Amino acid sequence: MLSPVVRSLSGSTRSDALTRHWFKAWLLKPKFLIPALLGIATLLASVWLAAAVHATSYPGVNQLLNTNTCPSCDLRGANLRGSYLVGANLAGVDLRGADLTGSDLRQADLVGADLRSANLTGTNLNGANLVNTDMRGADLNGADLSGSDLTRANLTGANLLLTQLSASDLAGVDLSNTDLRNIYLENTNLRGANLASAYMVSAELVGANLREADLSSANLRSANLRNASLREANLRGANLSRTSLRAADLTRASLQGADLSQADLEDASLEEADLKGANLVQANLAGAKLVRANLEGANIKDAILTNTELCSATLPNRKKHRC
C-alpha cells in the first residue's frame, strides 16, 4: 500500500501529464490553432513593417549600405551603428542626430557634412576628409580621428574625451568653449584654430602648430607646450599657470593679462610679445628671448631671469631696457 506522500506525488505526476495532454488537444483544435497562428503572423508582420517604415523614412540608408555612396543625402536621425563605411562618399550629407556608434569610416569623404549632435562614440574616422564639417555638439568619445583632415571644421561643444587626434590637420578648426582636458595633440596642425575659452588643462601639445590661433581666455593650466609654435597667437587672459612652454615660439604673441605664474619659459622666444599686465610670478624665463617685448605692468616677482635677453624690452616700470 502506498504511503500518503507517494500517493500525493504519483497523483501530481499523473495530473501534470493529463494537463499537458489536454493543452495539446486544446491547441490543436482549429478554433484555437488558427487564432494562435494569426497572432504569430501579425507579430512577424509588424516587425517587417517597422523595418520597411525605417527604410522608407531613410531611403538613403539602403543606398549607402549597398553602394557606399550617398552624397548630400538626408540621413537625419538614421541608425547606422556598427556600419562598415570605409572610403564612403558622404560629402555634404545631413547626419544630424544620427547614430554612428562604432562605425568604420576610415578614409571616408565627409567634406561639408552636417554631424551636429551625432553619436560618433568609438567611431573610426582615421584618415577621413572632414574639411568644413559641422560637428557641433557631436559625441566623439573614444573616436579615432588620427590623420584626418579637419580643416575649418566646427567642433564647438563636441565631446572629445579620449578622442585620438594625433597627426590630424586642425587648421582653422573651431574648438571654442570645448572641453579638451588631457587631450593628446602632439605635433598637430592647429594653425589659425579658434580655441577661445577652451578647457585644455593638462593637454599634450608638444610641437603643435598654434600659429595665429585664438587661445584667448583658454585654460591651459599644466599643459605641455614644449617646442610648440605660438607665433602671433592670441593668448590674452589665458591661464598658463604651471604650463611648460620650454623652447616654444611666442614671437609677437599677445599675452596681455595672461597668467604665467610658475610657467616654464626656459629658452622660449618671446620677441616683440605683448605681456602687458601678465602674471609672471615665479616663472622660469632663463635663457628666454624677450627682445622688444612689452612687459608694462607685468608682475615678475621671484621670476628666474638668468641669461634672459631683454634688449629694447619695455620693463614693468615702463622703462626701456638698454641693449
Confidence at 58, pLDDT banded by 50, 70, 90 = low
Within a 10 A sphere around the Cβ of 13, how many other Cβ atoms?
A: 10
* 247-291 pLDDT, tens digit each: 999 999 999 999 999 999 999 999 999 999 999 999 999 999 999
- Mean pLDDT value across residues 199-214: 96
Q: Which triple of cell numbers denotes residue 285?
A: 624665463
Confidence at 59, pLDDT banded by 50, 70, 90 = confident
Q: Is 185 a domain residue?
A: yes
More confident residue, 167 or 91: 91
Confidence at 22, pLDDT banded by 50, 70, 90 = very low
Q: Is 269 a domain residue?
A: yes
Confidence at 1, pLDDT banded by 50, 70, 90 = very low
Residue 6 in this model has a pLDDT that exceeds 50: no
Q: Is 282 a domain residue?
A: yes
Confidence at 162, pLDDT banded by 50, 70, 90 = confident
More confident residue, 238 or 45: 238
126-142 b/e with 16+ CB inside 10 Å = b? Answer: bbbbbbbbbbbbbbbbb
Q: Which triple of cell numbers denotes residue 286?
A: 632663463
Q: Is 217 a domain residue?
A: yes
Q: Is 290 a domain residue?
A: yes
| pLDDT at residue 74, as a whole number | 96
Count the domains in the chain: 1
More confident residue, 216 or 32: 216
Within a 10 A sphere around the Cβ of 193, how many other Cβ atoms?
A: 31
Residues 150, 154, 157: CA angle, nearest 5 degrees: 120
The SS3 of residue 269 is strand
Task: Please report how many Cα atoms fall inside a 13 Å half-sphere around the Cα of residue 96, on the Cβ side.
Answer: 7
Q: Is 71 a domain residue?
A: no
* 84-96 pLDDT, tens digit each: 999 999 999 999 9
Residues whose CB is less than 8 angstroms from the CB of residue 214 and which lie 6 or more positions away in sequence, other chains included: 176, 193, 194, 195, 196, 233, 234
- Measured in residues, the chain has a length of 323
Round to whole Å and give the CA distance between 145 and 143: 6
Round to whole Å and give the CA distance between 129 and 277: 42
- CATH code for position 262: 2.160.20.80
The pTM for the full model equals 0.78
Q: Is 44 a domain residue?
A: no
DSSP 135-158: -TT-B-TT-B-TT-B-TT-B-TT-
- Mean pLDDT value across residues 5-12: 42
- Mean pLDDT value across residues 16-32: 51
- 46 phi and psi angles, rounded to 5 deg: -65, -40
If you average pLDDT over every residue of the chain, what do you get?
88
| Among 53, 76, 79, CA closest to 65 | 79
| Among 178, 101, 113, CA closest to 143 | 101
- Mean pLDDT value across residues 173-201: 94
Q: Is 253 a domain residue?
A: yes
| pLDDT at residue 323, as a whole number | 86
| pLDDT at residue 167, as a whole number | 83
In angstroms, what CA-CA distances link 77 with 73, 87, 139, 160, 184?
12, 21, 14, 21, 30
Q: Which domain holds residue 274?
A: 170-323
| pLDDT at residue 33, as a whole number | 53
